Structure 1
């Protein structure tokens, strides 16, 4: 197909498209989906690809390969943004901005569907009813966080199917004070889940109560002359207090916020999220995006926010951005009650 023309059949399809929100899928001659897009108004958006005027080299190349179109009508622009994200994940189209695979980045999972939940590291997100924290691009931070949880909260480390499976006697963790032996019925479900609530509170970034608890344990260890344990708790306290470093972003102030950073170089870009809770920077996560050449910054940031940030659990109510992404109104509806700030 000539880049300045289209087949009569495709022309008829575009002419008959509705002027309402939806998602469009450009296909090549083999029927392969080569691009997925979303629009507030389907007909003018799709016809703009063939309109006279300046087009980016990427759009010109895309247009040369377009042979057919499928569309899906939705109720709102917000729904179209969400559907576009899901279809891009499904088809991995050649011309869309690509989010590099995050399977190499681990997360912490709390298996809340279990009567006695576990806290574990996973690189997948398919555990039924689990609550996830991460992914962690800094594995050292993940290990320190998980080690602290297991040191302070006496979470079980076994994979037993409790309470259906029962042991005759507890494992070593009970005798060294790392577990209260729910495996033999020495800890009730209610008490264990109350402890898990504290774990979730900590993983969300609330560290004040935990620091007080660590100071108390450190004092008790010193009183009984257990200096090795006191030193380990001192190191734990030092790491926790490092989280008290003030955020290096003036607009954060106090409270909770997710601060988004963005940079690009040629055909690649990176999005960064600083998780700030109680005025403290808790973590920094980043994701790389490929195939961004000839795509404007607002569209690239929109892709990052929709495909990476939107699925994140425990989002803050304030999201601070370097500039507004494309489709910011629809994105804010999907993020509700969070608000986008620049």
Structure 2
């Protein structure tokens, strides 16, 4: 791997000798004066000096420094002021080497125009105006529309524009489908409509129980007055509110919280935002920051926090607490910056319990699923296939890739996996597993050779298609063993490649091994490499799940045996409480903690055991 040196014409040593040791912001420029990177520092000289050392491991840093032709600095009073200036400059210049937040839209709200005689409920995005009440912010337009639909069904408030409302002579379709009480033509009194507006406001503020209690009292009054039709309408309102409460993950009647989780793999990253207001989960939104393969998840989350909360819409979206899925350096400075810029105090936490831990787990699950979906996107896969052809220097991309991996525990119960990818993504119907039993336990070379031989003897016998590229999770030893096995069955010319993690075992520094002994060293941000990483990781996942299943079949007794702290009596109580093993597997940590004799810590242990 070639070493890179600072750009020509820039004397880093001379610059650092005269650089300030105060807090501030630095801008790295290329030969044309364009901004490459913007950063902040508590000590400018120490921070900038770390870039220009001889032995810098990070590929991103080496690539950046190779292009630097000048550095500009701005001294600030403290780190808080530096953070505010850094975010303003990043937004202005959008440098290519910074992690950038792409989505910069304002956040949507539900608006009720309480200043009007018959208030209107509707979707709102942008600056707040007048005396209207605003509820949110919601993480996406879809979550706002879902909330609007619920309120319209339950409280039957009008959603039409004023020009339409003022010119009606008869009720519209909304009245016919029981989503509006038709105040436009006088079918509801101002007092009754205002009462429904007040209930809707309480509902949107998270006071579901108070709304239900008030409606139950009114239902009782209507029943006593023998107005059974009115009582039935109120009963339906209460049922609709109960249904909304059941759909909520948790409803604690407290807490304005943002929950953030980040997942990064194969050159892509997703930051998942879960929005909780008044203890109610309003929804979630996925962000796709522009990143490089060598950016860590901690770096991505730190960059996201500054740009999101100090951006143009940060004052609207600011909660009392932000829960993070990992420790992030610099949140103290961000908290001070928010207090200075927004006059709001925000608490940041990454270790939480109870319902907050449930929110965090929900955000992590959504982030993982969103990234899986993004990686499986057909356009994204197609671009990576084209890049793979360039990486391997072949005229056309491989149409079918098959990858093998081995999983075992100390050489026992070994399972080989074979996963298949095509231009449309994973072809899961063609996945296969092989229980392999090499003569010497733990001999991955022999295990791979056995699996490949069994696979392609059967494929050729049945006349099924061979892969355009055979990928092996391993280095030159594994590749040589598999090549010898293929030669023995007459498939020595099958295109093959091994992928290993290189000497440092870091993602993005993989080496690609050909059967002839040549090694390809791809760039960390090469989309072709990202495709190979994705296929290899899927083979690894499929092998591990197969190995666990094989190992599980050899166990005797209950599937709950072996859980620390759970004896025969508690196992029986758990199964009795949930009605069976499948129901137990589907239970959340919170549900497990409600079982007899199960503490919250023990519930977490059981959940982890069942889902490992």
Normalised TM-score (structure 1): 0.72
Give the match for residue 242 of structure 1.
Answer: 246
Q: What are the residue-to-residue correspondences of 1:183-202 with 2, within 5 Å?
A: 202=203
Q: Which has the larger radius of gyration?
A: 2
Give the alignment partner of residue 233 of structure 1, picking from 233, 237, 240. 237
Give the alignment partner of residue 339 of structure 1, picking from 335, 340, 347. 347
1: CA distance, partners of 2:29 / 2:135: 36
The alpha-carbon deviation at position 330 of structure 1 amounts to 0.5
Q: What are the residue-to-residue correspondences of 1:43-122 with 2, within 5 Å?
A: 43-101=45-103, 103=105, 107-110=108-111, 116=116, 119-122=121-124
Q: 1:12 to 1:54 in 2, by over 3 A?
A: closer
Q: 1:275 to 1:15 in 2, by over 3 A?
A: same
* Larger mean Cα displacement after TM superposition, 233-242 or 309-318: 309-318
Give the match for residue 21 of structure 2.
Answer: 19
**Aligned partner of residue 139 in structure 2, secondary structure:** coil
Give the match for residue 301 of structure 2.
Answer: 301
Task: Let me know the Cα RMSD of the aligned residues.
Answer: 4.4
Q: 1:32 to 1:171 in 2, by over 3 A?
A: farther
Give the match for residue 207 of structure 1.
Answer: 208
Give the match for residue 250 of structure 1.
Answer: none
Q: 1:237 to 1:154 in 2, by over 3 A?
A: closer
**Aligned partner of residue 270 in structure 2, secondary structure:** strand
Q: 1:254 to 1:6 in 2, by over 3 A?
A: farther
C-alpha contact (below 8 Å) 2:21/2:44 kept by paired residues? yes
1:18-75 deviations in whole A, cap 9, x for unaligned?
2222222222222222222111222221232112222311111111222223333333
2: CA distance, partners of 1:35 / 1:238: 52
2: CA distance, partners of 1:179 / 1:72: 61
Task: Say whether 1:287 aligns with 2:305.
Answer: no
**Aligned partner of residue 289 in structure 1, secondary structure:** coil
Give the match for residue 264 of structure 2.
Answer: 264
C-alpha contact (below 8 Å) 1:267/1:293 kept by paired residues? yes
C-alpha contact (below 8 Å) 1:266/1:292 kept by paired residues? no
C-alpha contact (below 8 Å) 1:25/1:71 kept by paired residues? yes
1:137-174 deviations in whole A, cap 9, x for unaligned?
471x322311344456676645559xxxx968898589
Give the match for residue 136 of structure 2.
Answer: 133
Q: 1:37 to 1:240 in 2, by over 3 A?
A: same
* Larger mean Cα displacement after TM superposition, 146-155 or 302-311: 146-155
1: CA distance, partners of 2:146 / 2:196: 19
The alpha-carbon deviation at position 128 of structure 1 amounts to 5.5
**Paired residues, what number?**
324
- In structure 2, runs of 5+ residues without a counterpart are 352-612
1: CA distance, partners of 2:57 / 2:307: 26
1:215-237 deviations in whole A, cap 9, x for unaligned?
56777599442699568635532
C-alpha contact (below 8 Å) 1:39/1:45 kept by paired residues? yes
Q: 1:9 to 1:136 in 2, by over 3 A?
A: same
C-alpha contact (below 8 Å) 1:275/1:284 kept by paired residues? yes
Normalised TM-score (structure 2): 0.44
The alpha-carbon deviation at position 327 of structure 1 amounts to 0.8
2: CA distance, partners of 1:287 / 1:218: 45
**Aligned partner of residue 334 in structure 2, secondary structure:** helix
* Larger mean Cα displacement after TM superposition, 77-86 or 195-204: 195-204
C-alpha contact (below 8 Å) 2:269/2:289 kept by paired residues? yes
Task: Say whether 1:320 aligns with 2:323.
Answer: yes
The alpha-carbon deviation at position 292 of structure 1 amounts to 4.0
C-alpha contact (below 8 Å) 2:110/2:144 kept by paired residues? no
The alpha-carbon deviation at position 6 of structure 1 amounts to 5.4
Q: Larger RCO: Structure 1 or Structure 2 (Cα < 8 Å, ≥ 6 residues apart)?
A: 1
**Greater share of helix residues, 1 or 2?**
2
